[in-house]
Amino acid sequence: MDPKALNIPAEDKHSFAEYFQQHIAPKWQRYEAKRIPIAAKYQQRRKISQPVSYIAMFTGLIGFAGIFYALAITNGDGFMLVGGLLLFVVAMIVAAAVNFWAGSEAFKFRDGVIKVIHPLILRYFGESFMLNPKNLPELKKYEQYGVLPKYDRGYFQDSVKGEYKGVAFLVRELNLSVANGTEDNKTKYKTIFDGIIIEFDTFKKFKGETQVRLDKGTLGNKYQAFKHDLSQVKLEDVNFERQFEVYSSDQVEARYLLTPATMARFLSLSSFYGSQLEACFKDGKLFMKIATKHNYFNSKLDVLKPLDFSHDIEQLFRELYQIFALIDELKLDDKTGL
């Protein structure tokens, strides 16, 4: 791959090409040499695992048909039911085992490459940039900002921390869900939030708490104000008021934070993200919750082909520049207001 041909910002092309040649290319070449025999072994094993998988799946369907026949036609014939169940289970185990045997080495190699190369790509932006750093806060810590919906289950995926223009940030992929009935004695869950949360350390000195939430109608807005023991803030921007509701423990500070320029920036960002943006200013930090279907920090590396990190590099640049744009748009590096 040619780093100079990457679709990244023009100001980064030359410097990143030099960085790539110095820090990434040597590892890339070593990994490519290791990849060739691993890929060849996988292809050879697939010649065995693929037909075995097809046979196993066909056998599993026969077993499933036996279960259905026993329950629906023979009123629960024990021999047919047990035989069909055993056939189905054994077939699925064989299919899973043979695919694991064929691909485990290749999958392990791919994961190892990503764990080394992605942090190196991030390090181009500065020593503070880290992928999935240790000792990150638990989900419960973010409940203090008051913009997470009520949930029964939540989990993080990838996380990236870094610093831009002196503003430290942590961005994390988050999924939240609520219990939604049961099936086969197991709780079913419904996703209520899928996106990212971002915590910025700002230079702003504010003592109170100010929430910027999506407008939920008259009753919903009153409930939000009551729940968080905050008072509703009326602002002069009609377009902003149409989309957002603001609650704060300090009316004066809320207006200091949400200047006309800042409200315009929030509207612009909300439009960019499809109106699914909420935020909270608290304890010198800005917390943002953004619903998005985009899978952040996801790799498309294919170890069956010559190693090419172009997609991963270009995606990381796009994703980080979105975060940088938030800092620029909201002027979080400015020590005097927003």
CA dihedral 170, 175, 179, 181 (to 10 degrees): 180
Residues pairing with 210 in the sheet: 248, 281
Confidence band for 227, pLDDT divided at 50, 70 and 90: low
Please report the pLDDT score of residue 1 as a whole number.
75
Select from 168, 157, 93, 100 the least CA-distant residue to 131. 157
Phi-psi sector, 131: left (phi>0), alpha (psi -120 to 50), beta: beta
Instruction: Enter the tokens of residue 23.
Output: 């820090």
**Residue 203 near residue 166 (C-beta atoms within 8 A):** yes
Taking the C-alpha atoms of residue 229 and residue 240, their distance in angstroms, rounded to an integer, is 22
- Is the separation of the CB atoms in 228 and 318 below 8 Å? no
43 C-beta neighbours (distance < 10 Å), count? 12
For 35-44, 127-136, 203-212, 308-317, which range has the lowest pLDDT when averaged over its residues? 203-212
pLDDT tens by residue, 65-119: 887 777 777 765 677 778 878 888 898 899 999 999 998 999 999 999 999 999 9
Residue 26 clears pLDDT 70, i.e. is over it? yes
Question: How would you class 329 by CB atoms within 10 Å of its CB: exposed for 0-12, middle for 13-18, buried for 19 or more?
Answer: middle
222 has a pLDDT exceeding 60: no
- Cα 120 to Cα 177: distance, rounded to the nearest angstrom: 33
Give the separation between CA 297 and CA 243, rounded to whole angstroms.
30
